[in-house]
Structure 1
Amino acid sequence: MGAQALSKQVSIRDFVAELRTFPEPAFSSTDEIVHFLERTPVAPDSLTPYLTWDRQHYTRNLIDKTPLYELIAICWEVGQASSVHNHRDQNCWMAVPIGRLLVENYRVVSQDLDAGTCQLESADTLEMNPTRPCAVNPLEPVHRVYNPREFNQRAVSLHVYS
């Protein structure tokens, strides 16, 4: 973690330029992109043109889109949360250049495809912050992201979807 804390911040423009250099195989497993996020933190001030806020729900703001990925900035007011959702058949990496967020991961205990229901149990919860990005586990891709009231600050997350 010490090395991550010392990483020099880059502008979102430089971040995108480097992300665009990754070949297609880099997006088929989680390791290479999560290491990129660890060593390439984005300078918060460079994100200003991409940030919009709404008191009712988090906002999704497109930064870049290529045939290999989409890069989205998500703005979270205090207390906002995503619904529990599934990234099956899609890789997702997340970094938090502003504030901090919690990611609660779930395990599917059982499912009834005919009824369209499933039973979930909490697998683990981790905190994302400017020095700790993460990748969604492809084997357990169900999670939710939230900004707990006790954090008492806005947050911005960057999501790379592939």
Structure 2
Amino acid sequence: MLTVRDAMSHPAITVRPHLSVRAAAARLVTHGFTAAPVVTAEGVVVGIVTEADLLRGRIPAGAAAVDPTPDPPVSDVMTIGPIAVAPDDDMAAVAALLLDHGVRVVPVLDRGHLVGVVTARDVLRRVASRELVSAPRRPGTARAAGPNG
């Protein structure tokens, strides 16, 4: 069985809740990610922010440029309480989870601590190399991120 630990991207690129939308977008672009976990100074995952979250409402209809109004903080646009997985979870089940929930990135938590992320690209890389094939879903492989992970 291929596990999350075998395929995850790590270390995870993260952003803080108070970071501006523009700064978070620059961080994603710089590192080539489409989303990032949002973590507190203590390292607790409180959300996830995607490219779509960062773009939504920033380009007014008919405008030639990005909206010049002050940037909101990431906490205003992030998804709170993202789905998370554990390092020993089955990658086939996580692939199904990504598809079922329409998400491209999930944080990987080990005893409540962020240790990486699994992206759709991580799954695709394993499928392309024939390391990942369909398997039945195991119950309990997905859970909401929180202080106890």
* TM-score using structure 2 length: 0.29
Which is helix-richer, 1 or 2? 2
* TM-score using structure 1 length: 0.28
Which is strand-richer, 1 or 2? 1
